[in-house]
Structure 1
Amino acid sequence: MFSMVTGFMNYGQQTVRAARYIGQSFMITLSHVNRLPVTIQYPYEKLITSERFRGRIHFEFDKCIACEVCVRVCPIDLPVVDWKLETDIRKKRLLNYSIDFGICIFCGNCVEYCPTNCLSMTEEYELSTYDRHELNYNQIALGRLPISVIGDYTIRTIRNPTPIQKITGNPIDSRTITNY
């Protein structure tokens, strides 16, 4: 008899707990109703990237001294540096430099540790192709200047942290809207 009463109590506690969890999840769902949509129409609208965005790597061939620091600090040993030792001047001459962006994790270590600052991160993020072999950039493709999204008149640019006006007229930042 006592076990039956304990079973009913456990059943009641589990029912109350389940109802509380359902109520909490419903309240979270209702809190998202007043939020503004975050979706953008990608090919026609593009976000302006933040200041320290890590996009495609830009490489300046003339500054590189072929020290291979970028290869040593890369967690996946990705940059391929081909060089030749010039015996008459006792210096390395860079022959080829390439990075496969299909494998790159865009950590930025190569840019941070480069002693001559020949590598830099751009704001270019559109690297998609139909053939993965096209993502292997050599020094010519890496040296190409990034495409500016802001200057293109066919694309509507959207700033990421845009201030939004409420009906009352008070500016609200995106952090307040999302309540993170």
Structure 2
Amino acid sequence: MSLHHSTNLTSFSRDLLMLGFLRQVGDYTRDTVDAARNIAQGLAVTFDHFQRRPVTVQYPYEKLIPSPRYRGRIHYEIDKCIACEVCVKVCPINLPIVDYEPGPSKKIAKVLRNYSIDFGVCIFCANCVEYCPTQCLSMTEEYELTSFDRHNLNYDSVALGRLPTTVSTDPSIRPLRELAELPKGELDPHNVPVNQPAYGPQPKQVLNPTMLS
């Protein structure tokens, strides 16, 4: 009886070992298939880039057109500003400097003297633009703000009020569209007109689906 019982235990242990081995083989096979799938996806992207010709932008004679929602230099309209300091309150780093003096009456509580933003510190989050009650702030597509002196990046109300320039309307350069803004099947922006529609819906069409029809 004990010999038969011992034989059953040995057979049961052998079955457990076999199940464990089969489970390990299954896990190894699944991991191998996943690894092969990931490698195939990476190679597909690599082979896709092999078919593309290199595109060189001859900067500064050629410039890429920023995306429609690009956050560049902030434009400021002093005539609309009421010195409410909402931009300072919503700024993550309390960046805008609003210099004002008390107004002559309750209706005109503040008289603005100067407004400045240091673009050497600004993170271009656009909170000030979004929450401004009078819409005196707006984002432009200007990105060439480099300077040898960081103090020159502190723009006052005069510098902020300068009308923004756009790549598309600058006659001294050749505007080029980014790869994501090209029509379907086009890979070289040099051969595509600026006004030709891009492939896929644009941000305004995504926000307003009725424009797609």
Is TM more than 0.5 here? yes
Aligned residues: 169
- Residue pairs, 1:156-175, within 5 angstroms: 156-160=174-178, 161-163=181-183
Match of 2:61 among 38, 44, 49: 44
Aligned to 2:176, the other structure's residue is in SS state strand
Cα distance change of structure 1 residues 70 and 40 upon mapping to structure 2, 3 Å threshold: same
TM-score by length of 2: 0.64
> Which residue does the alignment assign to 1:95?
113
Question: Per the alignment, in what secondary structure is the counterpart of residue 32 of structure 1?
Answer: helix
Deviations 1:83-134 (A, max 9, x none): 1112x31310111110000111111100010001111111211111111111
Query: Which amino acid is 1:67 matched to?
Result: C
Q: Alpha carbons of 1:99 and 1:148: their partners in 2 closer, same or farther (altered >3 Å)?
A: same
Which of the residues 126, 130, 139 maps onto 2:157?
Answer: 139
Instruction: Among all aligned residue pairs of Structure 1 and Structure 2, give the percentage whose two residues are the same amino acid.
Output: 61
Question: Which range is displaced more, 67-76 or 156-165?
Answer: 156-165
* Alpha-carbon offset, residue 165 of structure 1: 5.2
3-state SS of paired residue (2:99): strand
Structure number with bigger Rg:
2
Q: Show structure 1 runs of 5+ residues with no match.
A: 1-12, 167-172, 176-180
Gaps of 5+ in 2: 1-28, 187-197, 201-213
C-alpha distance 20-76 of structure 1, shift in aligned 2 (>3 A): same
Shift of 1:54: 1.3
**Separation of aligned partners in 2, 1:23 and 1:66:** 58
How far off is 1:39 after superposition?
4.1
Q: Aligned partners of 2:144, 2:38: CA distance in 1, in Å? A: 42
1:7-31 Cα deviation digits (max 9, x unpaired): xxxxxx9xx8999987775554333
CA shift in 2, pair 1:27/1:51, >3 Å: closer
What residue number does 1:124 align with? Answer: 142
Tell me how large the CA RMSD over aligned residues is: 3.3
Q: Is 1:53 paired with 2:70?
A: yes
